[in-house]
Every structure is written in C-alpha cells, then in structure tokens.
Amino acid sequence: MKMKLSELAGKLGLTLMGQDRDVSGVGTLESAGPEDVTFLGNPKYEGLLAGCKAAAVICTQEHAAQVASALVSVNPYLDFARLLALITPQQGCLCGVSDEASVHPEASVDASADVYPFAFVARGASIGPRSRVFPGCYVGEDCIVGADCTLYPNVTLMAGTVLGERVMIHSGAVLGSDGFGYVETPLGREKIPQVGAVLVADDVEIGANTTIDRAMLEKTIIGSGTKIDNLVQIGHNCTFGRNCTIVSQVGVAGSCTVGNNVIIAGKAGLNDHLDIGDDVLIGPKCGVRLSIPAGKRMGGHPAMEYTTYMRHMSLAPQIPDLFKRVKKLEKELAALRAVAEEGDK
C-alpha cells in the first residue's frame, strides 16, 4: 500500500529528515528500490549506504546525514519490524464464515471472525473476535479460540484446547494429540486414555508441524509470550512459563516444568519430569537428563555448564590425539621404571 514517508514517520513516532516521498515496499540495503524503505540495523553495514537506492532508510541520528531521506530511530531494527507490520498486508483473502466451512450448530463463531472453506468447527467450540481459521483447520469439541488468533492452514486443535488472545499457529501444528502413556500389564500394554487438555496463553506463536500433547488428566500449559518454532515436540503434562523461546526440532518429554524466559536452542532434548528454572539457556543439540536451577547456561550431551561445554567442544577433535599421548606416556613411564628398577639392583 502506498504511503507518504511523513505519514509513516508519524505512525512510527520517528523523525523524518530529508525529502518526503511516496513509498510502497521494503527491501534490504542492497535490494531496496526507489519506492522502498530499508534500515541500517548494524553499523557494520554502513558502507552499503552510499549505493543504496531506497526512498528512505530507518537509521540512527548518526547516519541520517548520509542518506537522502532518513527516518531517525533509536532502534532501527525494531522500527523496521513495526513498519513491516504497517505496510505489508497480512495473508489471507477472505472475510466472514465460508459456506464451504463446516461449523457445528452448537459452535459459536464471533461475527468478526473468518472461517475458510474446509475448516471444521466442532460442537461447543468457540472462535473469538477477529480470529481467522484457515482452510483445513480442525477445531475440536469445546475448544476456545480467543480474540485475534490465527490458525494457518491444516492446524489441528483436538477437543478442549484453549487459546488466549493473539495466538498464532502455523500450518500443520497439532495441539491436544494424546500423550504417549501406557501401563504395562501381564497381557501387554494398555493405553492410558489422555483426558486432559492443552492451554495456550496470550501472545504465543507456535511453528509449523509442531506437536503439543494434551495432559493425561489436567493441562499442558504454554505461558504467555512464549515462542515455539517448527517441528517441536512437547510431551503431556508439561508447563512452560512466560516468554520462553523454543527453537526448531526441540523435544521436551512429559511432565517437565519450565520457568520464564527460558531459551532452548535447536534440537535439544529434555528427559521427562525435569524442573528447568527461570532464565535458563539450553544450547543446541543439548541432552538434558537432570533438572537445571534458575539462571544456568548449559550445553552438550550430557548437559554441562556452558563454559565446560565450550571447552569440551574445542577439545573433542583432539581426543584421538589424547589417546596417543597417553599411550606414549605409558611407554615412557614403563621405560623409566625399568631403568629405576635396574638401578635398584
């Protein structure tokens, strides 16, 4: 959508320095054209300003004089993110509830919500104001989808899932699948019916094809502001605090309790029934077998303190050499001992 730089500056609370122009798009310092806005987030790219063709650059005061038009910001990256939200349209091309959707007569869909063709909303489910349910989504019995949520295509919410406000779930994610629980009997295993649910608080984002199992009896909980990447597995009965960051392909086994502001990097795995304190950082591919107190940074498999892990990482390629060194020591020591014993005689 076309907008004047001065209008954008007003909406973003920034100062326009230089010429006012119409802008309609965005780009990088290198790719932006004469109708685009770009940004200088990291001073190390300052050299690109000279050749930049953008209509305007969001930058700090320090760099404003180097460009024809600047939107002066104390945090250019943040203001560029806000600009993206202003000038790029959101995905989707529908308003209202499609005739081709299947909405149970006892479900409730807010008048301002969008429900696309081939979405299914079961008995007792409710869809809040301005929420959008894309094609192929399944909203099971008694689910509650709060206001301003987005369910991208082919998302499954099994019965009883509750979403707060502004929750965004990417395609193919599954919330409320059965936890993996069996009881051994003399005649083989029996499934433990999983009758709990999944509760997702406000401002959570959940990545594509991620799976979050329902609790056995109570709730699997994702705290507000927590962001979960693609292909993550969260087991039954887990509780995550606020503002956690769970990167792609992480697996968290059942009944873990994770605090606030915890970061779990890609492909890390947590055993079941662990207690992870606030502000913990767990490194990529880390294998966590024990609970971690608040504030710790851990890495490796098994999980170790980050400094130990970093030394471990740098030394690991030298382990074959270490075997050689120890073998050499053994030989030399044997030789010395032989000499010493010889001397004793």
Which residue among 63, 104, 170, 236 is the active-site one? Answer: 236
Residues 122 and 102: their CA atoms lie apart, in Å, by 8
For residues 4 and 337, which CB has a smaller minimum distance to a copy of itself in the complex? 337
Smallest distance from a copy of itself to CB 195, Å:
4
For residues 66 and 245, which CB has a smaller minimum distance to a copy of itself in the complex? 245
Residues 76 and 91: their CA atoms lie apart, in Å, by 25
User: What are the strands of the beta sheet with 275-276, ordered from one edge?
Assistant: 108-109, 126-127, 144-145, 162-163, 197-200, 219-222, 239-240, 257-258, 275-276
Give the DSSP letter of residue 26. E
Query: Which residues, in sequence order, are CB contacts of 117 under 8 Å at separation 6+?
Result: 98, 99, 100, 101, 135
Smallest distance from a copy of itself to CB 16, Å:
22
For residues 68 and 168, which CB has a smaller minimum distance to a copy of itself in the complex? 168
Smallest distance from a copy of itself to CB 65, Å:
25
Residues 8 and 79: their CA atoms lie apart, in Å, by 11
In b/e form, how buried is each residue of 258-269, taking b as 16+ CB within 10 angstroms?
A: bbbbbbbbbbbb
Distance (Å) of CA 234 to CA 71, 241, 272, 288, 304? 42, 13, 10, 14, 22
For residues 20 and 237, which CB has a smaller minimum distance to a copy of itself in the complex? 237
In b/e form, how buried is each residue of 99-110, taking b as 16+ CB within 10 angstroms?
A: eebebeeebebe
For residues 20 and 304, which CB has a smaller minimum distance to a copy of itself in the complex? 304
Four-CA torsion 242, 247, 250, 254, nearest 10 degrees? 10
CA nearest neighbour of 34 among 18, 57, 66, 6:
57
Smallest distance from a copy of itself to CB 306, Å:
11
For residues 103 and 280, which CB has a smaller minimum distance to a copy of itself in the complex? 103
Residue 225 neighbours by CB distance under 10 Å: 18
Smallest distance from a copy of itself to CB 185, Å:
6
Tokens 């936890």 locate to: 179
236 part of the active site: yes
Smallest distance from a copy of itself to CB 4, Å:
20
For residues 20 and 45, which CB has a smaller minimum distance to a copy of itself in the complex? 45
Residues 193 and 199: their CA atoms lie apart, in Å, by 18
Smallest distance from a copy of itself to CB 20, Å:
23
Active-site residues, by number, are 236
